[in-house]
Amino acid sequence: MQIFLIRHPRPLLESGVCYGQLDVEAEDPLPLARRLRAFLPADTPVIASPLQRALGLAKALNTQARVDARLMEVDFGEWEGQRWSDIDRQLLDQWAANVLHFAPPGGESAALLQARVVDCVDSLCAEPGKRLALVTHAGAIRAALGYWLQLPIDQWSRLPLAFGSISLLEIDAPGGLQRAGDRHGEATQEPATAAQLLYINR
């Protein structure tokens, strides 16, 4: 199974603002769609996060694009829409000390993000077909790559991903989350399948 991981266009939001599941508008997706089509084989199914910055690009790539909420960006809870400089420094320090499992107030951890993204990809891989294009967010793409490439959080959370970029992950066979999850249902770094990254951030 070939998984094309596509990041949404640049949001129309001032810099320094925390946005995860905040539904903000983005730059025109049409120029990106024209460039990205060169990477996608004909008739590649497109599945998108329901947030408009991802869904707009998905629809520009394929008018029949489907939506899956598991592809949404990490939920920053009470931090959404705040300037990073206004967020409690002690909480930011706690996050830095435990990047995988810390959750902002009312939000979710990177581990939970990774678990739902893995669950999404596993279920999509179970459907007939040899390739998929997922139009989603940097956090979701990093979580998927970190899981299947067995990278530690300090590596996968820093993978470079430009707005409108595409990465190609090849998974030999679907591997269920129950087989690859820990007792809390969170994705681990030990997938039951082999995978390789053919390219990243193009």
Provide the H-helix boundaries in the chain: 30-36, 52-61, 89-97, 110-125, 138-148, 153-156, 177-180
What tokens were used for 21? 């599941």
Q: What is the pLDDT of residue 66?
A: 97
**pLDDT string in tens for the chain (202-residue length):** 999 999 999 999 999 999 999 999 999 999 999 999 999 999 999 999 999 999 999 999 999 999 999 999 999 999 999 999 999 999 999 999 999 999 999 999 999 999 999 999 999 987 767 899 999 999 999 999 999 999 999 999 999 999 999 999 999 865 444 334 443 445 554 676 789 999 999 9
Q: What is the pLDDT of residue 193?
A: 74
**Residue 74 to residues 18, 69, 71, 143, 153: CA-CA distances in angstroms?**
11, 11, 9, 10, 14
C-alpha–C-alpha distance, residues 41 and 147, integer Å: 25
Buried (b) or exposed (e) across 168-186, using 16+ Cβ within 10 A?
A: bbebeebbbbeebbeeeeb
Q: What is the pLDDT of residue 184?
A: 44
Q: Are 80 and 104 in contact (CB under 8 A)?
A: no
Q: Enter the pTM of the model.
A: 0.91
Q: What is the pLDDT of residue 176?
A: 45
Write the single-letter amino acid at 14.
Answer: E
